[in-house]
């Protein structure tokens, strides 16, 4: 078994370890991971690994001092061995995995469409991450969409939740919505999703000068402003901020300039995680203000499943996701990498923020 690990204290450092495949117990299955996506969202998992608990999902092997962790990823896998009478060897799954070539799960709550992993260490973690989709039981499953699904499903589910939450709150009466790190895939999904609604506040995307042309070309923002031109923002307007960056310098400037006109700041991601602070410092600074909150999509998902039921939730999210997938064909290019060893250099680029915003990275492990 090969497993890609990250040093918890310094996300720029990684290693690949190898050990024998585990022996599965009663009711367990051994999966061969086929492929996975890697985006800035995965970097956020690493940054918030201790704060929110992402390191707990897949304990790192050969890690006696607990200094290494496995950043979770979204991807596809095939059942290699099965000691579960309800799941057969060869069946394919979509879900939440470690960046590794294999993993052992303990399926519970098994239906024709899905199951949950019942491993003891995952019981207190958000249920949405423990759910695995059985592709054999999915209506109209299209394998040609696997790469888009791995890349956009987790990001645009968050975008859906943000759109839904903001709409439910009637945008708090804001005149404008500032979206920080506007080139991120979650931000793009949010801006595109918001455009589906009428009587919407002005959508202002904040981005780097390097990504400015790309963001403008998307056509989903009413205005695009560079980080070095924050004076162009109209601070006299009632404003909702959606922060994908976690950059305390930008947050501090906007908080100060907006003052009472900042109606709410939703902190979602940390694409600028290394900006002279740790994740906890960035979150702490953001949360000091009573109008700022960390937006945790899994909590909103559970709320909406309770409100609408599983079928109602699935119908609404499927409509949202289908629209975003169609739009992604206009801007996203897939970059495929074979094997964990070849992934190392790309991993470093993503962690350092040196990735093109129009790229979608897929790591293939079959025959690697």
Q: Which residue has the higher pLDDT, 231 or 286?
A: 231
Whether 290 has a pLDDT exceeding 90, the answer reads no
Give whole-number Cα distances, 289 to 59, 98, 251, 295, in Å.
34, 35, 11, 14
Inside any domain, residue 304: no
Region 55-62: mean pLDDT is 96
Question: Each residue of 230-259: pLDDT tens digit?
Answer: 999 999 999 999 999 878 888 888 988 998
Residues 25, 125, single domain; the answer is: yes
Q: Is residue 323 part of a domain?
A: no
User: Is 313's pLDDT higher than 90?
Assistant: yes
Cβ-defined contacts of 340-345 (< 8 Å, 24+): 340/2, 340/4, 340/16, 340/99, 340/100, 340/101, 340/365, 340/368, 341/16, 342/368, 343/4, 343/38, 343/99, 344/14, 344/16
Per-residue pLDDT tens over the stretch 119-176: 999 999 988 999 999 999 998 899 999 999 999 999 999 999 999 999 999 999 999 9
Token pair, residue 291, equals 């109008």
224, part of any domain: yes
Q: How confident is the model at residue 269 (pLDDT cuts 50, 70, 90)?
A: low
pLDDT in tens, 332-354: 999 999 999 999 999 999 998 88
Mean pLDDT over the full length of the chain: 91
pLDDT value at position 273? 43
Residue at which a domain ends, from 298, 321, 347:
298
Residue that is last in its domain, among 298, 315, 340: 298
Whether residues 128 and 52 fall in one domain: yes
Q: Is the pLDDT assigned to residue 271 strictly greater than 60?
A: no
Residues 170 and 290 in one domain: yes
CA distances 362 to 62, 70, 146, 249, 343, Å, are 26, 17, 10, 32, 9
By residue range, what is the domain housing residue 34? 2-141+332-364
With beta carbons less than 8 A apart as the criterion, state whether 153 and 314 touch: no
Q: Please give the pLDDT value at position 276.
A: 41
Q: What is the pTM of this model?
A: 0.89
List the strands of the sheet with 68-69, edge to edge.
10-18, 2-7, 68-69
Q: Note whether 89 and 170 are same-domain residues.
A: no
Residues 176 and 133 placed together within one structural domain of the fold: no
For residue 337 the two structure tokens come to 């990498």
Which whole number is the average pLDDT over 37-64?
92
Q: 294: domain CATH number?
A: 3.40.50.720
pLDDT digits (tens, 9 = 90+) for 168-179: 999 999 999 999
Read off the tokens for 185.
Answer: 């895939």
Per-residue pLDDT averaged across 214-225, rounded?
97
CB atoms within 10 A of CB 227: 19
The confidence score (pLDDT) of residue 337 equals 97
356 and 235: one domain? no
Mark whether 294 and 164 lie in a shared domain.
yes
Whether residue 119 is found in the same domain as residue 62: yes
One domain, residues 124 and 235: no
Give percent of the chain with pLDDT exceeding 90: 78
Evaluate whether residue 327 is within a structural domain. Answer: no
From 298, 321, 342, give the residue that closes a domain: 298
9 in the same domain as 136: yes
For the chain, the domain total comes to 2
* Section 27-43 average pLDDT: 96
């Amino acid at each position: 078994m090969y497993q890609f690990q990250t040093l918890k204290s310094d996300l720029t450092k990684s290693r690949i370890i190898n050990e024998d495949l585990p022996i599965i117990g009663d009711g367990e299955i051994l999966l061969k991971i086929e492929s996975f996506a890697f985006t800035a969202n995965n970097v956020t998992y690493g940054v918030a690994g201790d704060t929110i608990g992402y390191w707990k999902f897949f304990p790192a092997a050969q890690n006696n001092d607990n200094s290494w962790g496995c950043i979770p990823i979204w991807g596809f896998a095939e059942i290699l061995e099965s000691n579960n009478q309800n799941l057969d060897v060869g069946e394919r799954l979509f879900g939440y995995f470690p960046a590794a070539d294999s993993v052992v799960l303990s399926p519970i709550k098994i239906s024709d469409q899905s199951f949950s992993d019942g491993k003891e260490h995952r019981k207190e973690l958000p249920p949405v991450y423990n759910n695995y989709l059985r592709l054999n039981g999915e209506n109209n499953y299209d394998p040609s969409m696997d790469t888009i699904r791995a890349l956009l499903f987790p990001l645009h589910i968050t975008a859906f939740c943000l759109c839904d939450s903001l709409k439910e709150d009637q945008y708090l009466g804001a005149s404008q919505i500032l979206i920080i790190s506007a080139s991120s895939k979650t931000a793009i999904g949010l801006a595109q999703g918001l455009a589906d609604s009428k009587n919407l506040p002005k959508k202002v995307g904040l981005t780097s000068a390097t990504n400015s042309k790309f963001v403008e070309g998307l056509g989903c923002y009413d205005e695009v402003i560079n980080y070095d031109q924050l004076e162009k923002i109209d601070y006299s307007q009632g404003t909702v901020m959606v922060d994908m960056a976690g950059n305390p310098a930008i947050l501090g400037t906007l908080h100060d300039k907006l003052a009472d006109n900042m109606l709410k700041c939703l902190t979602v991601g940390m694409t600028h995680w290394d900006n002279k602070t740790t994740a906890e410092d960035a979150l702490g600074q953001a949360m000091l203000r009573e109008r700022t909150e960390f937006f945790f999509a899994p909590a909103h998902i559970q709320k909406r499943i309770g409100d609408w039921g599983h079928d109602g939730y699935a119908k609404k999210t499927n409509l949202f996701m289908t629209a975003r997938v169609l739009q992604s064909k206009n801007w996203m290019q897939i970059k495929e990498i074979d094997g964990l060893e070849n992934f190392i250099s790309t991993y470093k680029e993503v962690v350092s923020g040196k990735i093109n915003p129009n790229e979608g990275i897929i790591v293939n492990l079959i025959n690697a």
